Chain A
C-alpha cells in the first residue's frame, strides 16, 4: 500500500464527504482526489520520474493537500519546506535536493522567484487557492494559464515500490543545518495504521489542524484523517485562540492536536474554560512535540470538557511521527510518562555500549519498527549515528517502569553540570510551571568559572507583579535541592521557539545574554 492510496480509497468510499475545510472552502474527497490526480499528470507530463524530488513551498491550505498528494501520485519524492524560511535557506536546501520541480503557493511565489532556479535546473510551478473555477489552479511562471483542466482526473496508478522513499521531511533542529529525514511509503503507511488504531479514528472524526503540514506531526494528522475518510479543518490563525475555539464548536470537531506551547496558550490566553459546555463533539486532545509539564496536563484535565480525553504522545520525525502514547485512562496514574509503544513499535533502553537496561535504569531510548526512517538524505555520517542494528537512537535519555511505561528524563546532549551535579533543565522547568506563577519558561546553563555552569532562565510570568521572580525562586527552594535552584530568572513576553513550536534553547541563551548586556 502507498500513502496516496489512503486518499484514493476514501475518494472511492466517501466521494461526496467533505475532506477539507479551510476558511470558506469545503472540498469533497472526489474533488481533492481528482485535482491531485491532475497535478500528478501535469508533473508526469513535465518529465518527473519516480525517485525525482519535487519540492512544495505552501502554507496549510487546500492547495497544500492537493500539491502533496499530487506529488506522491506522480511517483516523485515529496519534500515540503517551511514557507517562512528565507529564500537563501531554501536555496541551500534546493542545492542539496536537486529537485526536478518546485511547486509554490501564490503567497510565496515572489520570494521564491528571487532564487536562480534556472541555474539549479528546477521547473517552477505556482499553485493557487480555490477559485470559482476549481479547488486549485497550477500555472507556470511564463503563463497564467491553468494547466490542470487539460489533465486527466484519473488515478495515475503508477507501480511504486512501497519501500522506496516517499518523502523527505526536514527536522526543525535548532543547532546547525536541518536534516532531511527519508521516509518510505511503507514507513508512513505503518505509522498511519497504528495511530488510527490507538486514537480509534473513524469517518466521523473531524480534526482541527493548527499545526503546519510541512512537519511530520501535521502530516500525520492529514494522513490519518484521509485514511479513515474523516475531515480536517484548517485554521492557521491559532494566535486568535477565541476564533479557533469558536470554529471548533461550529464545525463540531472531534479532535484537536497541539504541542506544549499550543496548550500553554490555550490554558492561559484563550477562553477554553468558557467553552467547557460548548464542545460536545470533542472526543480527545492529543499532545506531542516535546515534554509538557505535569502541571499543564493536570490543569487541562480540569478545564477540558469531561468527555474529552487528553492523549499524551511521543515520537520523532525519524519515526514517521509516532512512537508511544499514554492510554487516556492511565494518564493520571502515569502523568509524567510518555506511555507505551504503539502497535508495530518496540522500544528499549540501552547503555552507551548497546546493552539493555533493566527496569528503572536510565539509558538512551532506542526504537525499532516499520515506521523508522531509512536515513538522512545525503548525510551518511548522521545516519550512522542515528541508526544501527539496535534501531533508531532517539537521543533522549529515559527509563521503563514496572508496568512497561516509558519516561524521558532529558536529552543526551542537553545535560548540564553545575558544581559537579548533573542537571536536567526539564525538572526545574516543571517546578517553575507548577508554582502557578509562570506560563512558560526555559532554564539553561551559563558558563561559570567556579561551577562549570550556573542556572539561569527566561520566564513568561502568569501575572504582572514586582515579586514574581522572588516567589518563583522561593517555590523552587522549597521543592528542589539548592544546586537546582536557578541563580536568577529574567521575565519576558515571549520565549524563542523554532517553527515547530519547540523552545529554541540556543536562541534563548543568546537572547538572555543580549538582554543582560543592555
Chain B
C-alpha cells in the first residue's frame, strides 16, 4: 500500500512551498493557513485523481475530505478500499 500521507505531503510541499514541508502539519487547514488557495485545491484534486486513479465526485468537494493532509489520507483510503 502506498504511503498516501507522505506522497500528498510531498506534492503539496513541492507545488506550493518550494519543497519546504516544515510548516505543513498533518492537521493544518490548507486553505486557512494560506498554503493552498481556492484554485490550488483544484490542482490537489486533479493530482489525487491522476496519481491514485480515483474519481473525486462533485459532492465530495468538502473540507472534511480535502482540507488537511490527514483528511486527504483518510478520504483516499475510503475511496480506494
Interface residues of A (CB under 8 A from B): 84, 236-243, 246, 261, 265, 269-272, 274, 464, 493-494, 497
Contact = CB atoms under 8 A, between A and B. Distances in A.
B61 A494 contact: no
Contacts of B40: 239, 494
Given A265-B42, A493-B47, A494-B39, A241 B34 contact: no
Interface of B: 31, 34, 37-43, 45-47, 49-50, 57-63, 66-67
B46 to A, nearest CB: 4
A270 B46 CA distance: 14
Given A84-B37, A236-B31, A240-B63, 14 more contacts: A84-B34, A237-B38, A239-B38, A240-B31, A240-B62, A240-B66, A240-B67, A242-B58, A242-B59, A243-B61, A269-B45, A269-B58, A272-B58, A494-B43
Nearest to A496: B39
Contact of A494 (B34, B42, B62, B67): B42
Contacts, number: 62
B42 A242 contact: no
A238 B62 contact: no
Contacts of B59: 242, 271, 274
Contacts of B31: 236-237, 239-240
15 contacts: A237-B63, A239-B38, A239-B40, A239-B41, A240-B41, A240-B63, A242-B62, A243-B62, A265-B42, A269-B42, A269-B45, A272-B58, A464-B50, A493-B43, A494-B43
A327 B34 CA distance: 38
Contacts of A274: 58-59
Contacts of B38: 237-239
B63 A243 contact: yes
Nearest to B66: A240
A241 B43 contact: no
A261 B38 CA distance: 11
